[in-house]
Structure 1
Amino acid sequence: MNKPFKHQSRRTFLKQTAGLSAGFAIGAETLVHAADFDNNLSKFSLPLGVYASYEKADLLKQYGCSYIEESVGGFLIPKDGDMQYAKNLQQLKDDKFPIRSYVILLPGQLKTLGPDANHEAILQRTDLALKRAQECGSKYIVFGSGASRIIPEGFDRDKAKAQHIELSKKMAPLAEKYGVKIALEPLNRGETNFINSLAEGVEIIDAVNSPSFQLLCDIFHMSKEDESADQIVKFGKHIVHCHIAEKKDRTPPGVAGDDFRPYLSALKKIKYKGGLSIECFVYQDFDSQSKKGIEVLQRQISEV
């Protein structure tokens, strides 16, 4: 037998519904906060840097850079010798603005391949550069050095590739010893005729088979070679460092107005967490153009 319906006072009804409403409101608010938290976690950001002399460290720090990128010959093995390196190291310790990586490992006269290959001299230089990079607390040395790896006309390409792999296999244990990764950089064909794409870089990396010998993704060189952003996704597991500049004149972001978002989206897709350095060699005005370049990159990164 069903129990008779018990009449509920208006006051009781209002109290109960108010409690339910409050519960729904609190639950909704919790969901909103949870969604905001998830969105914040999913926001894509990267440590940004600029290739420049360390003299620009204070300025780049003001612009929102996380680090600076220097050169091996400018900072680690300067022309003025050990005394100058000691001064550079002291400045780094005083300013406490990190150098994440170094470009231009080899001068053009030190050949990695061809009849004039000089692996012994290259290994000596690489060992010193890696040792000093460790002393500086740096993580990467970029192995681009396009002039050193040009295959001479008439020289067998397979032999040249074997020479480069042989050298790279000897460089990798040095990198492992010092805890500094070597980032192999594919370059456009205007600079060298060997290793011109991420795919060609990965062929060398697979042959070396060392976690200390990995890949650099340079969006400028990729653009010059019409290499699609999909290649970043394909070879993302090897990418440890990135460079960027505009395609036409290698200007910093914001000069010609290049849209880097397809490449940045690919980096986001692979959950890339490494550095992204503006690498330009000629500025009309370094201070203003580097500042704008960082601002443009920050905006485009926020839009992917």
Structure 2
Amino acid sequence: MKKHLFFVLTICAITTAFTQNKKLPEIGIAENLKNDSLLSAAGYRYLVESISKLISPKSVTEEQFNQNVQHIKSLKTSLYAVNVFIPGELKLVGPEVDERAILHYAEKVFKRCNRVHVDLIVWGSGGARRVPDGFDQAKAKEQFISIAGKVAERAKQYNITLALENLNSTETNFITTLAEALEVVKKVNHSHFRLCADLYHMLKENEPASVIEQTKRYLVHCDIAEKENRTPPGTVGDDFKPYLMALKRINYRGKIILECRWENLGKQAQPALRYLEKEIQAVY
């Protein structure tokens, strides 16, 4: 009897320890820094902000950036990553590519990222990577792979990882599926050029969750929103479980970031967070 009781207690202790130590993907939000206090009160710990608002040398003066640095130091949430990397006027493909200008711009961004201790950049940039009408798509892919490798090498010097984001065909005409983004990441073949899986864009393109299962070695970031109007999880009730299950199958433990359109952030932020937490816990 004592041996049986000891065995049961041991199993319970192991199970409890495993449950407590099981690391789930943490949830963050892509939002304006000015909403930091609201988001912190709602339970968010991680924030993603756009480079154009916070860091870009094309839109943020040195004086403004210094003010941003001080603001970031006082945040209640943690600035985890930045997005909206390459501005639309800096073409990444087509006949007007200025490689020198792209690399010069990227290096300035990397230097500023170092100053605010951000080491992840989500690379969407639908305008910059849009293929001009009549331009060969295969040639555009070659151009993008070439410049991405050079930008990644600069990023490595600053210990920054770039995460290529799949967009959807209403926003750009190039790299509109996760499968295509994965193909590009593999061809660039650089340790600082990885992959972002945006579940909203996957849903818009009706891309199956099974594609995620091919991304294990490359996936470092994940964005999420509901399909129809980019509403926060739980608004309409889109079923994310197949996608979350695919993330679990590849043992994804990175962040999942809500990148949504909000009608009332103050009212919606916490319910969206709690809804997604429950979805993740149910799957993981």
Query: Scaled by the length of structure 1, what TM-score is found?
Result: 0.88
Distance between the aligned counterparts of 1:96 and 1:244, measured in 2? 23
- Who is 2:118 aligned against? 138
Are residue 211 (structure 1) and residue 208 (structure 2) matched? no
Distance between the aligned counterparts of 1:27 and 1:176, measured in 2? 51
Alignment-mate amino acid for residue 135 of structure 2: F
Q: Check the 8 A contact 1:105/1:144 in 2, yes or no.
A: yes
Distance between the aligned counterparts of 1:118 and 1:287, measured in 2? 42
Distance between the aligned counterparts of 1:279 and 1:57, measured in 2? 15
Are residue 301 (structure 1) and residue 280 (structure 2) matched? yes
Distance between the aligned counterparts of 2:7 and 2:45, measured in 1? 39
Alignment-mate amino acid for residue 253 of structure 1: P
Q: Check the 8 A contact 2:36/2:76 in 1, yes or no.
A: no
Superposition pairs for residues 1-304 of structure 1, below 5 Å? 21-42=1-22, 45-77=24-56, 79-95=59-75, 97-280=77-260, 282-304=261-283
TM-aligned CA deviation for residue 63 of structure 1: 2.0
Distance between the aligned counterparts of 2:257 and 2:16, measured in 1? 30
Over 3 Å counting, the alpha-carbon distance change for 1:283 and 1:39 in structure 2 is closer
Distance between the aligned counterparts of 1:246 and 1:118, measured in 2? 36
Q: Check the 8 A contact 1:142/1:183 in 2, yes or no.
A: yes
Say which is worse superposed, 184-193 or 91-100, in terms of deviation: 91-100
Distance between the aligned counterparts of 1:273 and 1:205, measured in 2? 20
TM-aligned CA deviation for residue 96 of structure 1: 5.5
Question: What is the aligned-residue RMSD (CA, Å)?
Answer: 1.5
Distance between the aligned counterparts of 1:95 and 1:191, measured in 2? 31
Q: Check the 8 A contact 1:47/1:65 in 2, yes or no.
A: no
Q: Check the 8 A contact 1:98/1:138 in 2, yes or no.
A: no
Over 3 Å counting, the alpha-carbon distance change for 1:80 and 1:239 in structure 2 is closer
Alignment-mate amino acid for residue 8 of structure 2: A
TM-aligned CA deviation for residue 103 of structure 1: 1.1
SS of the equivalent of 1:237 reads coil
Alignment-mate amino acid for residue 115 of structure 1: P
Tell me the alpha carbon deviations over residues 244-287 of structure 1, each in whole angstroms, 9 at most, x when there is no partner: 0000001111211111111111111111111111112x321112
List alignment gaps of at least 5 residues for structure 2: none
Distance between the aligned counterparts of 2:33 and 2:270, measured in 1? 16
Query: Scaled by the length of structure 2, what TM-score is found?
Result: 0.94
SS of the equivalent of 1:303 reads helix
Aligned length: 282
Identity fraction in percent: 36
Tell me the alpha carbon deviations over residues 63-119 of structure 1, each in whole angstroms, 9 at most, x when there is no partner: 222210000011112734111111111111123632111111122222101112222
Tell me the alpha carbon deviations over residues 108-143 of structure 1, each in whole angstroms, 9 at most, x when there is no partner: 222101112222222222111122112211121111
Q: Check the 8 A contact 2:225/2:258 in 1, yes or no.
A: yes
Return structure 1 stretches of 4+ with deviation > 3 angstroms: 39-42
List alignment gaps of at least 5 residues for structure 1: 1-20
Q: Check the 8 A contact 1:130/1:141 in 2, yes or no.
A: no
Distance between the aligned counterparts of 1:68 and 1:297, measured in 2? 16
Q: Check the 8 A contact 2:166/2:176 in 1, yes or no.
A: yes
Distance between the aligned counterparts of 1:70 and 1:50, measured in 2? 9
Distance between the aligned counterparts of 1:152 and 1:106, measured in 2? 17
Distance between the aligned counterparts of 2:112 and 2:27, measured in 1? 23
